[in-house]
Chain A
Amino acid sequence: MSKDTVLVVEDDQLLREVIEDLLNIHQIKVKTVGDSSEANDWLEEYIPDLIICDLFLPTVSGIQWLNSVSEDLVVNNSSIILLSADHVRTQEMLVGSPIQSLVKHQLEKPFKNDELVQLIRFFRSNS
């Protein structure tokens, strides 16, 4: 694994598989995990340049988890794409959060495959 591997944190196994297939087809390196503790294990090995994270994870919310690892993400200047259903409320939650400036985009489920791929390419090249 390397920094240019996209880390996807999504608790739904089937959607994880779909995202993995999609990114493999587009030759984008990807690591998918199902919850925050699994994601923490991977962060010990490498801090990715781009994280795609669902807001609704088991045990803690996506933002709670991202806040808990914000120090490493800020140092690395990682970009974050949040999978969220409500932009306004997500913005409310991000106010004052240490990861506020790292969240580059909120993508609503269901999303277009092309949009996700374009976003990943854009934010990886700008990180």
Chain B
Amino acid sequence: MNELHPLLATLVEEFLNERHTVRDATSVPLDVTKIELSQNTKHLLLQVNAHLTYDHFVSSVLEHELRTPLAGIVSTVQLLQTQLEAHEDELPDTLQNWCDRLEKLSARMEFLLENMKQLHKNDYSSQSVGRQTRKLTNWFINERKILAELIKSSQILDLEFQMLDESFEYTTDYHLLSIILGTLVENASKYSPDNARIDIFLEQSQEILRVKVIDNGVGLGGNSSKNLIKAFQPGQEVEHIEGSGLGLSIAHAAAQRIQAQLLLYDNENVAGTTAELILSNNGICQKTLF
């Protein structure tokens, strides 16, 4: 999804062209506050903003994901130190030196992590700017155009609604919902053959809203959905498919921030996987997580 640099390059070009046009039209010094942006420039700015938001979110997820393995390393080093101190006389000095070195390295990693945390300190509070009330079906119809750009050109993306109320309005962080859907559709495309169809279903019942992204790809195989949503744990039998190992972890983190549940399971009787996002239907009490 990272196409920020080409976007910025095009944006700069757009600005230069506009500035050139304005200068041609008038001989007075340019007043930047009065420049009217073209539709194309506005569109590019929105795209750049979306990419920056996405990159920042991914960085905050990464920082959070690093905490658990680092906690394991720090605690294990402390356990090692305690054991070495208890057997100080029997063990060679080199072991103590190596353990001291590990302790210093893990302390440095802790320091780096704390600095990373400061970068994300003000992001995605409960008053997140992405939180809006929108007519859900309209949002999905618009989003489908963006999602269609994420799949292979030979694949088809289908959108279907089963709503109790077609005009239902829902309050959530639509930036995060977009990140979740983008990740799920990208994943569905990546693990499906050319010419495959990917279906998105939006279902509303009295109690909950469900979004399902269904593909006919390789399926979960021997992988549990719990493992797949953990960062840097690619599934078995899919080593040939490139990826950062963060995709589903990002979707999961975003889902938890909007109080949604993300489930993955094999399709019944046919090949492929369903990724199901369960949203609260009433739109209340949707506080952010970490």
Contacts and interface: CB of A to CB of B under 8 A. Distances in A.
B256 A15 contact: no
A58 B253 CA distance: 10
Given A85-B67, A92-B126, A11 B230 contact: yes
Contact of A110 (B67, B117, B125): B67
B125 A89 contact: yes
Interface stretch (B68-76, B92-100, B239-247): B68-76
B79 A18 contact: yes
Q: Chain A at the B interface: mostly helix, strand, loop or mixed?
A: loop
B68 A15 contact: yes
Given A59-B261, A109-B67, A110-B110, A89 B290 contact: yes
Interface residues of B, number: 35
Interface string A42-64: 00000000000011101111001
B75 A113 contact: yes
A89 B117 CA distance: 13
A18 B289 contact: no
Interface of A: 11-12, 14-15, 18-19, 21-22, 25, 34-35, 54-56, 58-61, 64, 84-86, 89-90, 92-93, 108-114
Interface of B: 64, 67-76, 78-79, 82, 106, 110, 113, 117, 125-126, 225-226, 229-230, 252-253, 256, 259, 261-263, 287-290
28 contacts: A12-B230, A14-B72, A15-B68, A15-B71, A18-B75, A22-B75, A35-B226, A56-B290, A58-B225, A58-B226, A58-B252, A59-B226, A59-B262, A60-B261, A64-B259, A89-B288, A89-B289, A89-B290, A90-B290, A93-B289, A109-B68, A110-B73, A110-B106, A110-B110, A110-B113, A111-B75, A112-B78, A113-B82
